[in-house]
Amino acid sequence: MKKKILLTLFITGLLVVPAIPLGQSQAASQEALDKINKELAEIQRKKNAQRQQVKETEQNIAVVQKQIKDLNTELMQIDLRRNEVQEKLDQLEKQMDDTRLKAAQAQDELDEAADRVEKRDALLKTRVKSMYERGNISYWDVLLGASDFGDFLTRMEGLRLILEQDTRILEDNLRDKATIEQKKKEIDHQLTVYAGMYDEAEALKAELDKQYQRSVVVKAELDKQEKELEADLERSGQELLALTRAESEKYAERVRALSSSSGGYKGGKLALPIADGNFRFTSGFGVRKDPFTGRSAGHNGVDMAAPKGTTIMAAASGIVTYAGYYSGFGNTVMIKHNDELTTLYGHIREGGIKVSVGQQVAAGQKIAEVGSTGRSTGNHLHFTVYKNNVAVDPMPYLR
């Protein structure tokens, strides 16, 4: 949009702004000219202020666009973190499911161990009950009741086996209980750890979700600001365009005031922009072979080959409406001669422009030097004549 505004301003400024002819009529009212000049100065002041406004708006847009770009990067990073945290949550959930399965298996083993303990307890209780039913018989009674030494040894071996079995039962009970309880404790602890990690991950994801939503809200506000600034820039551009048109009309008013006498430029033949003998025509107006593409293309002027630095002169008196770089023409000067005619001088060498916008020039006055800037294959002057803003063949105008 900025380029569009600048192009519109360029076209308006170059092809519409009339120029002040030299040889001003003494009959022109100085008071009227002073009034026009004062009004023109005010328009130019407003135009400069509007240009500054456009520049500031463009800078503000650039700031907002950078903020939007940074915010988009932040949103992408937050989204990546959210995905990472979600993957961690999924992994923790799987680990918790696996641990719950192990806990269930441990519970089954604990139940089996409890069943074994219960059976062992039952065996011990059966032995105690049997001893109770037979009376209070001690191990010594059993040994001393032996009929002979062999019976004593047999009874002693039996008692040893009973004691070993009872001891093993008690040890197995203790070991089973300790092992299963330790295993269950470890699993419960692992579940607690996973649950804590899961809660932390969920809290982090919730915070990331909040950050993402906050960033989305901020981005929406920045998008709104950008649109508003773009609208402001469009309005400022239109206002600048209106001021440029007003400036052009005021220049035209000056031209009409100054050209009312016979001393002003009245049209007719134009002088050669390069002195006769210092150039040669290399390309005419109309369709020709493009030197870059080799294809047929339109050519809106004539080319005059000359050594670099050769003087370029104004083809007639007028006012400079453009002096600077312009696209394929490279360094360019444009002069408005009257309401009808404008001339363009292109491919001027670097540093070769010798006039400035708004300057009055006389026919034959040096305005530039030949070069090869822009879309050019060698040192030459591209010379265009605009009649009522339309490029026409310059040859009938040259004398």
Q: Is 129 inside any structural domain? A: yes
Q: Is 19 inside any structural domain? A: no
Domain boundary among 263, 280, 296: 263
Domain boundary among 229, 263, 297: 263
Inter-residue contact 15 to 244 (CB < 8 Å): no
Q: Is 198 inside any structural domain? A: yes
Same domain for 330 and 182, yes or no, is no
Same domain for 247 and 281, yes or no, is no
Question: For residue range 79-102, what is the model confidence (pLDDT) as tens digits?
Answer: 898 898 888 888 888 888 887 887
Same domain for 107 and 156, yes or no, is yes
Question: For residue range 325-351, what is the model confidence (pLDDT) as tens digits?
Answer: 987 899 999 999 988 899 999 999 999
CATH number of the domain where residue 158 is located: 1.10.287
User: What residues contact residue 267 under an 8 Å CB cut-off, 6+ apart?
Assistant: 337, 338, 340, 341
Name which of 172-176, 225-229, 301-305, 326-330 the model is least confident about. 172-176
- Please tell me whether residue 55 adopts helix, strand or coil conformation: helix
Same domain for 93 and 218, yes or no, is yes
Greater confidence, 134 or 187? Answer: 187
Same domain for 385 and 251, yes or no, is no
Same domain for 372 and 252, yes or no, is no
Same domain for 291 and 159, yes or no, is no
Q: Is 48 inside any structural domain? A: yes
Whole-number pLDDT of residue 133: 47
Inter-residue contact 344 to 387 (CB < 8 Å): no
Q: How far is CA 154 from CA 143, 166, 320, in A?
A: 9, 18, 138
Place of tokens 């309401």: 339
Q: Is 63 inside any structural domain? A: yes
Whole-number pLDDT of residue 227: 93
Same domain for 167 and 270, yes or no, is no
Average pLDDT of the residues in 147-153: 71
Type of residue numbered 211: Q
Whole-number pLDDT of residue 315: 95
Same domain for 184 and 316, yes or no, is no
pLDDT band (50, 70, 90) for residue 205: confident
Inter-residue contact 344 to 314 (CB < 8 Å): no
Average model confidence (pLDDT) across the chain? 78
Same domain for 105 and 193, yes or no, is yes
Domain boundary among 263, 283, 308: 263
Place of tokens 């803003």: 389
Instruction: Give the β-pairing of 341-348 and 330-336.
Output: antiparallel
Average pLDDT of the residues in 15-26: 41
Same domain for 271 and 259, yes or no, is no
Q: Is 5 inside any structural domain? A: no
Q: How far is CA 359 from CA 22, 311, 330, 342, 371, in A?
A: 11, 18, 20, 15, 22
CATH number of the domain where residue 326 is located: 2.70.70.10
Handedness of CA 137, 141, 142, 146 (dihedral sign): negative
Q: How many domains does the structure of the chain reveal? A: 2
Instruction: Give the β-pairing of 280-283 and 380-387.
Output: unpaired
Same domain for 297 and 218, yes or no, is no
Average pLDDT of the residues in 63-91: 89
Name which of 29-33, 282-286, 299-303 the model is least confident about. 29-33
pLDDT band (50, 70, 90) for residue 36: confident
Residues in a beta bridge with 305: 280, 380
Q: In the predicted model, is pLDDT for residue 58 greater than 70?
A: yes
Question: For residue range 103-131, what is the model confidence (pLDDT) as tens digits?
Answer: 778 777 777 777 776 776 676 666 555 55
Average pLDDT of the residues in 257-266: 44
The structure's pTM equals 0.44
| Residue span of the structural domain in which 45 resides | 29-263
Q: Is 139 inside any structural domain? A: yes
Q: Is 14 inside any structural domain? A: no
Of 3-17, 118-132, 249-263, give the range with the top mean pLDDT.
118-132
